[in-house]
Amino acid sequence: MTGAGQGPSAASPDALPFDPIGDALGRIRTEFLDDHRGEVADYIPQLGEADPAAFGLALVGVAGSVYRVGEADVPFTIQSISKPFVYALALADAGIDDVLGRVGVEPSGEAFNAISLEPGTGRPSNPMINAGAILTTSLVRGTGPDERFERIRDLLSRCAGRVLEVDDAVFRSEHETGDRNRALAYLMRHAGSLTADVEAAVDTYFRQCSVLVTAVDLATMAATLANGGVNPRTGEEVLGQSAAEQVLTVMATCGMYDYSGEWLFRVGLPAKSGVSGGVVAVSPSQFGIGLYSPRLDGRGNSVRGVAASEAISERFTLHLMHQVGRTAPTFERVAPDVGLVVAADDQGTSVSVGDAPRNADVAVLAVQGYLEFASAEQALLALRTRTDDTDSPEALILDLGHVTRCHPVAAALLDAMIEQIESRGVTVVTVDRRERRLLASSAEFTTRSEALARCRGGWRER
Ligand code: GLU
C-alpha cells in the first residue's frame, strides 16, 4: 500500500522494494480505517464536502526521506495548523518580548474559539486559540493585509517546500461566517491587546486558514520544525533554531485544543490539529508527521488522526519523556593496558597503538558521536581519571575526529577542564582531521602523529 499510485519525490523511498517504515504506517492506517466515529466540520459548506473516508499519513525524516500512505496527497485547508507557523513569523518580526507581552503561552484548557482573555490586559492565553492566533497574525510585518498575508503564505510554502495556494471559496465562506472571530478581535481591540484594524487582522487570519496543503506538506512542515527550522527536503533555513524550539513548546502545551494535556500525556509529541481534519506532530531531531482524516471528535481533533498518532508514538517509542539511554560509547578506552596509549620512543614520530607500556608518556583519548552535556560529562570524568592518578601522562592527545557535532556547552566544559589539566603541567592537544577547531583551549593537529611530535617536543623542552 505504500505510496500506491502516488508520485514519490526524488528523496522518497517509496519506490524501493522494502520499506519497513512505510509498511508500519500502512498497518497503522489499516488498523484505524474502519473507525467511522466523529463528524466532518460543516460550519462552512466547503468543509462539509470533504470525503469522510479519506485517511492519509505521511512522515518526513530530518534527512529528507518521505513516507506516505493512503490519501497523503489530497489537498485540504490548513486551518488552525497555520497558527504555530505564523507564531514563528511573529516572533521573528516583533521579537519575543513584544510577542509575549501581547499573547501568553499558558494552556487555556478551553475550546479553540473561547473568549479567553487575561483580565485587565486582554491578553489571549496562547497563540493556538483563535484569539491568540488573530493577535499573532496582526503582529506579522507588512504594509497592509495583502503584504502581511503574502509573507505568511511565503513562510508556509517554504516550510512545505512548494508554493501553496489559497482555496478562495473557503476564504470567502470563512469571511462571511467569521463573526465570532471578529467579536474576539473587537474584544481584544477594546482591551488594548490588539492594536491593528479588526477587519484587516481577521482578513489575514481567514486567508491563512484557507491555504491548501496535503498530509505530505504537513509532514514536511513538521519536519522543518523537527530539524531546527531547516526544511530537510530543500535544505533552506526557513526559521531560526530558537523560533522552532519556541513554537514546538507552545505546540506541546497548547496544540490540541482542550485535549492538549491528555495528548501530551498519551502521545508525548508537540502537535497541532485543524478543523478540516489535519494533524501535524513533531518528533524533535527525528521527523515530522502529517495526517489527514476529516471526521472530528467533540474537541475538534481528527478522530483517526489522534488514534493513529498515538499508535505511531507508541510503536516507534517517540514519547518526549521516554528515556533513550546512551546510544554509542563516547570513548575508546584510554588505559595503557588496552592499547590506545601512545608510547614515547626515541624515533621522534612513530605511534605505537596496541602495545604501549604502562608508563606511557602520551595518552590518546578519542571521543566520538554528538558531544552534548551528558557525553561531555563522561569525557570530563575520563580526562580527570586519566590525569589525576600518579601514572598521569606528560601529554594528552584528545582525538575529536569522530565527533559528529559539538554543542557549545560541551566545548566550554572541555575547554575549562583542559585549562585545569594544563595548569598541572600536562600538555593537551587536539586532533581533528577536518580541522574544525571544536575546542578553543588547545593546539589542533590533523593527525595523531603530528600531535605526538608536538607533545614530544614539549617534553624535551621541559
Ligand atoms: N477557520 C477556523 C476558525 O477560526 C479555524 C478553526 C480551527 O481549525 O480550529 O474558526
Q: What residue spans define the domains of the chain? A: 39-315, 340-461
Q: Judge whether residue 351 has pLDDT over 60.
A: no
Residue 399 Cβ < 6 Å to ligand 1: no
For residue 437, the Cα-to-chain-centroid distance in whole angstroms is 27
User: Of 112-116, 314-318, 341-345, where does mean pLDDT reach its minimum?
Assistant: 341-345
Q: Judge whether residue 183 has pLDDT over 60.
A: yes
309-299-132 Cα angle (round to 5): 95
- Provide the pLDDT confidence category of residue 221 given band limits of 50, 70 and 90: very high
Index of the ligand 1 atom closest to the CA of residue 79:
8
Q: Are strands 395-406 and 427-431 parallel, antiparallel or unpaired?
A: parallel
Per-residue model confidence (pLDDT) at position 106: 92
Q: Judge whether residue 356 has pLDDT over 50.
A: no
Per-residue model confidence (pLDDT) at position 342: 35
Per-residue model confidence (pLDDT) at position 230: 98
Choose, from 67, 257, 259, 292, the residue flagged as catalytic: 257
Catalytic site includes residue 83:
yes
Kind plus residue range of the DSSP H or E element containing 187: helix 179-191
User: What is the C-alpha to C-alpha distance for residues 281 and 269, in angstroms, rounded to an integer?
Assistant: 6
DSSP state of 14: G
Q: Judge whether residue 345 has pLDDT over 60.
A: no
* Mean of pLDDT values over 402-417: 91
- Provide the pLDDT confidence category of residue 36 given band limits of 50, 70 and 90: very high
Per-residue model confidence (pLDDT) at position 341: 36
From first CA to last CA, the distance across the chain in angstroms is 71
Cell triple for 54: 479519506
Per-residue model confidence (pLDDT) at position 7: 38
Choose, from 205, 213, 247, 250, the residue flagged as catalytic: 205
Residue 112 Cβ < 6 Å to ligand 1: yes
CATH number of 39-315: 3.40.710.10
Choose, from 12, 65, 80, 309, the residue flagged as catalytic: 80
- Provide the pLDDT confidence category of residue 15 given band limits of 50, 70 and 90: low
Q: Name the residue with higher pLDDT: 112 or 231.
A: 231
Q: Are 399 and 364 in contact (CB under 8 A)?
A: yes
* Mean of pLDDT values over 441-456: 85
Per-residue model confidence (pLDDT) at position 457: 63
Q: Judge whether residue 3 has pLDDT over 80.
A: no
The answer for residues whose C-beta is within 8 angstroms of residue 117's C-beta and 6 or more apart is 123, 124, 125, 131, 187, 188, 191, 193
Residue 208 Cβ < 6 Å to ligand 1: no
Per-residue model confidence (pLDDT) at position 120: 83
The answer for residues whose C-beta is within 8 angstroms of residue 407's C-beta and 6 or more apart is 370, 371, 372, 373, 376
Index of the ligand 1 atom closest to the CA of residue 178:
10
Q: Judge whether residue 8 has pLDDT over 70.
A: no
Q: Tell me the DSSP string of 204-220.
A: HHHHHHTBEE-HHHHHH
222 burial class (0-12, 13-18, 19+ CB within 10 angstroms)?
Answer: buried
User: What is the C-alpha to C-alpha distance for residues 461 and 459, in angstroms, rounded to an integer?
Assistant: 5
Cell triple for 74: 489530497
Q: Name the residue with higher pLDDT: 394 or 106.
A: 106
Place of cell 476529516: 294
Residue 301 Cβ < 6 Å to ligand 1: no
What is the pTM assigned to this prediction? Answer: 0.82
Per-residue model confidence (pLDDT) at position 445: 94
Residue 14 Cβ < 6 Å to ligand 1: no
Which range, 262-271, 360-369, 384-393, 438-447, has the best average confidence (pLDDT)? 262-271
Q: Name the residue with higher pLDDT: 14 or 174.
A: 174
Does the domain at 340-461 match CATH 3.40.50.300? Answer given as no
pLDDT, one tens digit per residue, over 324-343 is 655 444 554 444 433 333 33
- Provide the pLDDT confidence category of residue 17 given band limits of 50, 70 and 90: low
Q: Separation of 83 CA from ligand 1 center, angstroms?
A: 10
Report long-range pairs for 448-452 (Cβ below 8 Å, ≥24 apart): 448/342, 448/351, 448/364, 448/397, 448/399, 449/349, 449/350, 449/351, 451/397, 452/342, 452/349, 452/351, 452/362, 452/397
- Provide the pLDDT confidence category of residue 246 given band limits of 50, 70 and 90: very high
Q: Name the residue with higher pLDDT: 397 or 436.
A: 436
Considering only CA atoms, give the Rg of the chain: 27
454 burial class (0-12, 13-18, 19+ CB within 10 angstroms)?
Answer: middle
